[in-house]
Amino acid sequence: MEGMKETVEESLREMRETFASGRTRSLKWRKAQIGAIYEMVKDNEDKICSALFQDLGKHSTEAFRDELGVVLRSATVAINSLDKWAVPKHSNLPLLFYPAKGKVISEPYGTVLVLSSWNFPISLSLDPLIGAIAAGNTVLLKSSELSPNASAFLAKTIPAYLDTKAIKVIEGGPDVATILLQHQWDKIFFTGSPKIGRIVMAAAAQHLTPVTLELGGKCPTIVDHHTISKNIKSVVKRIAGGKWGSCSGQACISVDYVLIEKSYASSLIDMLKPTIKSFFGENPKESGCLSKIATKQHVQRLSRLLNDPRVQASIVHGGSIDEEKLYVEPTILLDPPLDSEIMNEEIFGPILPIITVRDIQESIGIIKTKPKPLAIYAFTNDENLKTRILSETSSGSVTFNDVMIQYMCDALPFGGVGESGIGRYHGKYSFDCFSHEKAIMEGSLGMDLEARYPPWNNFKLTFIRLAFREAYFKLILLMLGLKR
């Protein structure tokens, strides 16, 4: 590890030197780097898809939709918008301060650290990278060791396309992360679990490093059958897609569990089953369209969640596990106990609990007993229910009548609250995430007011009091001696 420590320190030294040189401040440089990321992805589509297939069994269409496409779009938006994003914001100052001027400029933090995750190893590495570069920082990326092929691709290919003195990649696991976190960074961007999020923030606290933590939680999906029954087919498809269609449920914004009124549960299940079949055929293991579970340990974790006898008893579809093949069958549970482990930790896998309530309004109460999730989904046309959900629950985001897709809307900030995270990104929010908004005020040396200076007396006190209230007329009277 001594060697790794030296590598880290050398990298930091070089990145800081590069930042100090001012090279990353140029918008042209930033656009060129982001353009290079775009080219890198376009040139290596097959290699990337192959790496994702090896790591996670991801089908190339899923890989494109969730990773490559995201990065390409993010890069395009950044290049097209950077000039606009970098423009200083002018502030209006009160008349009292005339002719002073105020503005806010976005400046890069300096040298930043991006700690990425294994489930979307390409997009969760490159998307924050784009933000860091757009804001003018030098950046070190640590990709996840649990997606080794994607990580190796990034470590090998990024240096071939990007400015290696400014943008670096380190591979490795927790021991490498620990060494990185011992050092001082100007910002840390972390995607992962709340447990590790705490460790990252505690390490950042030693250096007063600001952090963005993109964590997770149990994203509930409310199905208000009453008001959406006409479109139930779409609803079922979207839920199925949101659970099994993206990395086999291993996404921070996956549908974690469904809430529905008791009388409709069985018809939902009866519609989900054929939908699963239409997605993955008779044997999902062989379909080639269902991602694998990350590692044997992760399979064992999901297995353990299912092993609870009360949970076992609630299985209404699926349940089979093949640890060797890193396969967990798309599984549906009907009313596992609310105090079971599976209902108290983020599932992060292809198991879908359906929790029934007497009245759909009760789902709000259940959601509130759990930590604030990254997303809440609700299928409903009931405006009252929508209002209640918005005002009585808290989550990173709320999406009505769909799942997952808020991720693609780059005018919306993407981030959590409470246990699901701190900070946000996507679109301009990525630029802001990696920027310090510096206030600049310019006063005039010309107009000087005696009242500003000691020795103090009643006149000056009255003057300043009136000035603060912006009572300009009374101020004038005071100065003309017409006011005491």
Rule CB under 8 A: which of 324-363 touch another protein? Answer: none
Question: For residues 126 and 71, is the Cβ–Cβ distance under 8 A?
Answer: yes
Rule CB under 8 A: which of 4-23 touch another protein? Answer: 20, 22
459 binds another protein (CB under 8 A): no
476 binds another protein (CB under 8 A): no
- Quick one: 109 or 257, whose CB is closer to another protein? 109
Stretch that binds another protein, among 88-96, 120-128, 332-340, 350-358 (CB under 8 A): 88-96
183 binds another protein (CB under 8 A): no
Q: Which residues contact 277 (CB under 8 A, 6 or more apart)?
A: none
**3-class secondary-structure state, position 217:** coil
In sequence order, the β-bridge partners of residue 223 are: 260, 379
- Quick one: 35 or 241, whose CB is closer to another protein? 241
In sequence order, the β-bridge partners of residue 353 are: 333
Rule CB under 8 A: which of 184-203 touch another protein? Answer: 186, 194, 197-198, 201-202
Among 1, 95, 445, 482, binds another protein (CB under 8 A): 445
- The minimum distance between CB 201 and another protein, in angstroms, equals 4
- H or E segment at 463? helix 458-468
In terms of C-beta distances under 8 Å and separation of at least 24 residues, what long-range contacts does 281-285 make, across chains too? 284/327, 284/329, 284/330, 285/322, 285/325, 285/327, 285/329
Among 53, 64, 257, 264, binds another protein (CB under 8 A): 64
Among 32, 155, 315, 422, binds another protein (CB under 8 A): 422
- Quick one: 86 or 334, whose CB is closer to another protein? 86
Q: How many CB atoms lie within 10 A of CB 87?
A: 11
Annotated active-site residue 409? The verdict is no
Annotated active-site residue 214? The verdict is yes
The whole-angstrom separation of Cα 196 and Cα 369 is: 23
Rule CB under 8 A: which of 103-142 touch another protein? Answer: 104-105, 107, 109-110
Task: Write phi, then psi, for 263 (nearest 5 degrees).
Answer: -65, -20
Task: Write phi, then psi, for 222 (nearest 5 degrees).
Answer: -90, 130
Among 9, 21, 468, 476, binds another protein (CB under 8 A): 468
Among 59, 218, 225, 370, binds another protein (CB under 8 A): 59
437 binds another protein (CB under 8 A): yes
**3-class secondary-structure state, position 93:** coil
The whole-angstrom separation of Cα 36 and Cα 134 is: 13
Omega cis (within 30) before 336: no
- Quick one: 296 or 452, whose CB is closer to another protein? 452
- Residue 212 to residues 60, 167, 422, 432, Cα–Cα distance (Å): 30, 19, 5, 11
User: Using the 8-state DSSP alphabet, how is residue 373 labeled?
Assistant: P
In sequence order, the β-bridge partners of residue 142 are: 115, 170
Q: How many CB atoms lie within 10 A of CB 83?
A: 10
The whole-angstrom separation of Cα 164 and Cα 183 is: 20
182 binds another protein (CB under 8 A): no
Catalytic site residue from 49, 62, 67, 214: 214
83 binds another protein (CB under 8 A): no
Among 390, 477, 479, 483, binds another protein (CB under 8 A): 390
173, 208, 214: which is closest to 194 by C-alpha? 214
Among 152, 315, 464, 479, binds another protein (CB under 8 A): 464
In sequence order, the β-bridge partners of residue 187 are: 112
Catalytic site residue from 49, 219, 247, 252: 252
210 binds another protein (CB under 8 A): yes
- Quick one: 398 or 479, whose CB is closer to another protein? 398
Size of the site for another protein (CB under 8 A): 108
Rule CB under 8 A: which of 276-305 touch another protein? Answer: 278-281, 287, 289-290
Stretch that binds another protein, among 171-179, 256-264, 335-343, 449-457 (CB under 8 A): 449-457
Catalytically active residues are 214, 252
